């Protein structure tokens, strides 16, 4: 009984603190992710007031948080939309991967961490934060801008790439070698293709099995299906996160819409728990030695993300101001970067003890500065600078149909 009481006190106090931090972040116009990470650092191993009784709760909650983050991402797209975006945004996705994954890989090698840590750090620097970027676009009133579909296409490509990257990196972290890692990747590709084909042809049938008219039954059904598929995927060495993502893609119509509304509060709760748990498992005393490397990596990869968005928007015929808005909007990293680093921390085979601290510092830097950089194109001095560069070239109008 005493252990349960302590657990309730620790969990309740920490969740209350997270609620206050979330409110504070909204008031100052920043993402709450860095505050959640700082809270975890303060109450984790080596922190100001280490928590012990609630660590098991937050470990399980963190697993559920990752699964809910991924299923919610999958619910945002139908299978047809996903395939269409994949075709149109493939060149931008390739530019994104080359410009942003390679610096992380090279940086790990320069630090002498080995190629496995390089693969992990490549994923950390590659993927932008969909949650942070969506919030920034909404806060700045840019949802209807011409460059916004370009930004969203890059994010969709990254989400799809994660469905292939996560099984590969999971296999590598398990120490199974390149051959078994390749088999795992082939299995992931086959699984994605099969699920997409089933979702396109039989998505309505799957969705009809879950009634959108009964919120309680829908919540339990979607959550149960997601956890079940995620668990089976983990057993098959495909990745629980990928399984959850594919469940979200398979659901469509009113079921997907209502499931998004019902799962959003749970996603927010357990996602916060996930970020806190990552901070809890990171010793803050390990962060000062990696602050300068994290800052250097952040400067390089924020520059490469800026180039990614600029080039993708130019390819789509967006005018000069929109190209800069697209580039700056893509700079924050967040949930996926922490998920990838978390896989390395939880791996049976030790990778690099400083990787978690570096990833935490890196995400903190990009999540804090990214939303600030996104506001630059709206500032008067930036607009004057653009005018001095030369006249803004508007994209040529499309030819009239015959």
pLDDT per position as a tens digit, 244-257: 877 887 787 788 88
Give the chain's largest Cα–Cα span: 80
For residues 9 and 6, what is the distance between their CA atoms, to the nearest angstrom? 5
- Over its C-alpha atoms, the chain yields an Rg (Å, rounded) of 21
Q: What is the mean pLDDT of residues 322-346?
A: 85
Domain limits at 334? 10-387
Size of the chain, expressed as the number of residues it contains: 402
In a domain, 302, yes or no: yes
In a domain, 394, yes or no: no
In a domain, 1, yes or no: no
3-state helix, strand, coil in the chain (%, to 5): 80, 0, 20
Residue 66 pLDDT > 70: yes
For residues 312 and 66, what is the distance between their CA atoms, to the nearest angstrom? 29
Lowest mean pLDDT, pick from 175-184, 280-289, 379-388: 175-184
Q: What is the CATH number of the domain that holds 137?
A: 1.20.1530.20
For residues 190 and 150, what is the distance between their CA atoms, to the nearest angstrom? 28
Q: 147 in helix, strand or coil?
A: coil
Q: What is the pLDDT of residues 261-287, one digit of tens each?
A: 888 888 888 888 877 887 777 777 878
In a domain, 318, yes or no: yes
3-state secondary structure 176-194: CHHHHHHHHHHHHHHHHHH
What is the secondary structure of 80-143 as a DSSP string? HHHHHHHHHSHHHHHHHHHHHHHHHHHHHHHTT--HHHHHHHHHHHH---HHHHHHHHHHTT-T
Cβ 344 vs Cβ 329: under 8 Å? no
pLDDT at res. 145? 86
Question: How many domains is the chain built from?
Answer: 1
In a domain, 395, yes or no: no
pLDDT at res. 150? 85
Q: What is the pLDDT of residues 68-80, one digit of tens each?
A: 877 887 787 666 6
Check: pTM over 0.85? Answer yes or no: no
In a domain, 69, yes or no: yes
Cβ 362 vs Cβ 111: under 8 Å? no
Count of other CB atoms within 10 angstroms of residue 35: 24
Q: Dihedral angle at the C-alpha atoms of 67, 73, 74, 77, nearest 10 degrees?
A: 170
Count of other CB atoms within 10 angstroms of residue 49: 9
- pLDDT above 90 covers a percentage of the chain that reads 14
> Higher model confidence: residue 156 or residue 99?
99
What is the torsional sign of CA 374, 280, 63, 27? negative
pLDDT at res. 273? 85
Q: What is the mean pLDDT of residues 127-137?
A: 79
Residue 139 pLDDT > 60: yes
Cβ 278 vs Cβ 272: under 8 Å? no
In a domain, 201, yes or no: yes
pLDDT at res. 370? 86
H or E element: which one contains 328?
A: helix 320-329
Q: What is the pLDDT of residues 209-224, one digit of tens each?
A: 777 678 888 888 888 8
pLDDT at res. 348? 59
- Of 333, 330, 309, 311, the closest CA to residue 123 belongs to 333
Place 288 in a pLDDT band, splitting at 50, 70 and 90: confident
In a domain, 5, yes or no: no
> Higher model confidence: residue 376 or residue 237?
376
- Of 84, 120, 86, 88, the closest CA to residue 105 belongs to 120
Place 122 in a pLDDT band, splitting at 50, 70 and 90: very high
- Of 212, 211, 256, 248, the closest CA to residue 230 belongs to 248
Mean pLDDT of the chain: 80
Residue 402 pLDDT > 50: no
């Amino acid at each position: 009984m005493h252990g349960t009481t302590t657990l309730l006190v620790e969990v309740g106090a920490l969740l209350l603190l997270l609620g206050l931090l979330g409110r504070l972040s909204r008031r100052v116009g920043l993402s709450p992710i860095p505050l959640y990470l700082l809270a975890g650092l303060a109450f984790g191993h080596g922190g100001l007031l280490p928590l012990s009784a609630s660590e098991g709760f937050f470990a399980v909650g963190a697993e559920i948080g990752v699964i809910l983050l991924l299923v919610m991402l999958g619910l945002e797209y139908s299978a047809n939309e996903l395939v269409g975006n994949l075709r149109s945004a493939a060149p931008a996705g390739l530019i994104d991967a080359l410009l942003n994954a390679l610096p992380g890989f090279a940086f790990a090698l320069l630090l002498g961490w080995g190629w496995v840590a390089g693969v992990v750090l490549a994923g950390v620097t590659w993927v932008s934060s969909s949650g942070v970027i969506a919030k920034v676009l909404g806060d700045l009133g840019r949802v209807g801008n011409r460059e916004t579909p370009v930004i969203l296409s890059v994010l969709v490509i990254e989400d799809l790439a994660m469905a292939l990257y996560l099984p590969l990196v999971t296999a590598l972290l398990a120490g199974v070698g390149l051959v078994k890692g390749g088999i795992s990747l082939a299995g992931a590709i086959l699984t994605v293709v099969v699920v997409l084909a089933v979702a396109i042809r039989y998505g309505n049938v799957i969705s009809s099995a879950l009634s959108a008219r009964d919120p309680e039954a829908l919540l339990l059904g979607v959550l149960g299906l997601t956890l079940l598929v995620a668990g089976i995927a983990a057993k098959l060495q495909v990745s629980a996160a990928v399984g959850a993502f594919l469940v979200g893609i398979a659901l469509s119509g009113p079921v997907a819409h209502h499931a998004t509304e019902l799962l959003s509060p749970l996603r927010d709760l357990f996602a916060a728990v996930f970020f806190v748990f990552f901070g809890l498992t990171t010793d803050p005393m390990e962060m000062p030695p990696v602050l300068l490397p994290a800052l250097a990596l952040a400067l390089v990869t924020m520059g490469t993300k800026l180039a990614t968005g600029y080039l993708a928007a130019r390819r789509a015929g967006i005018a000069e101001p929109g190209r800069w808005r697209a580039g700056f909007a893509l700079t924050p990293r967040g949930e996926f970067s922490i998920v990838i680093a978390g896989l390395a921390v939880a791996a049976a085979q030790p990778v690099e003890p400083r990787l978690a601290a570096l990833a935490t510092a890196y995400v903190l830097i990009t999540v804090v500065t990214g939303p600030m950089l996104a506001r630059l194109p709206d500032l008067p001095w930036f607009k004057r600078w653009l005018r001095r560069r030369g006249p803004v070239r508007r994209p040529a109008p499309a030819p009239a149909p015959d």
